[in-house]
Amino acid sequence: DSGVTQTPKHLITATGQRVTLRCSPRSGDLSVYWYQQSLDQGLQFLIQYYNGEERAKGNILERFSAQQFPDLHSELNLSSLELGDSALYFCASSEGVGDNQPQHFGDGTRLSIL
């Protein structure tokens, strides 16, 4: 058990809809990362938050946004969903800004767009 909790485990919705994915990091970890995993693109970094502040952005679409709350949990919001957004979304956490420390991954949210 990594200590990172993601909810829900599965999400099925339709094109054009909006969903929110939730992540609780490991106790004591200040950084939260979001990744998208798909068969064709592999594991793509989306965004990182450190202690409530956005730290780095990767390949995140403008339709997607995230935030980290004072209790350090994070939410990833996906809007105007398209079929191509179907993927596994992972949250990971680490103690600091992510220098030489490993990231600890949750078990992901599988998003299916119908």
Partner 1 sequence: AQSVAQPEDQVNVAEGNPLTVKCTYSVSGNPYLFWYVQYPNRGLQFLLKYITGDNLVKGSYGFEAEFNKSQTSFHLKKPSALVSDSALYFCAVRDTYAGAGSYQLTFGKGTKLSVIP
Residues of this chain that bind partner 1 (CB under 8 A)? 2, 4, 42-43, 45, 48, 55-56, 58, 90, 92, 97-100, 102-108
Output the smallest distance, CB 105 to partner 1, in A.
Answer: 3
Output the smallest distance, CB 38 to partner 1, in A.
Answer: 11
CB atoms within 10 A of CB 74: 25
What is the spatial distance between Cα 37 and Cα 46, in angstroms, rounded to a whole number?
A: 10
Minimum CB distance to partner 1 smaller for 17 or for 41: 41
Output the smallest distance, CB 74 to partner 1, in A.
Answer: 15
CB atoms within 10 A of CB 20: 15
Minimum CB distance to partner 1 smaller for 48 or for 68: 48
Task: Give the bridge partners for 22, in sequence order.
Answer: 7, 75
The token pair at 97 is 């800004």
* 29 alpha carbon, distance to own chain's centre: 15
Minimum CB distance to partner 1 smaller for 15 or for 101: 101
Output the smallest distance, CB 69 to partner 1, in A.
Answer: 21
Minimum CB distance to partner 1 smaller for 1 or for 14: 1
Residue 100 φ then ψ, to 5°: -115, 20
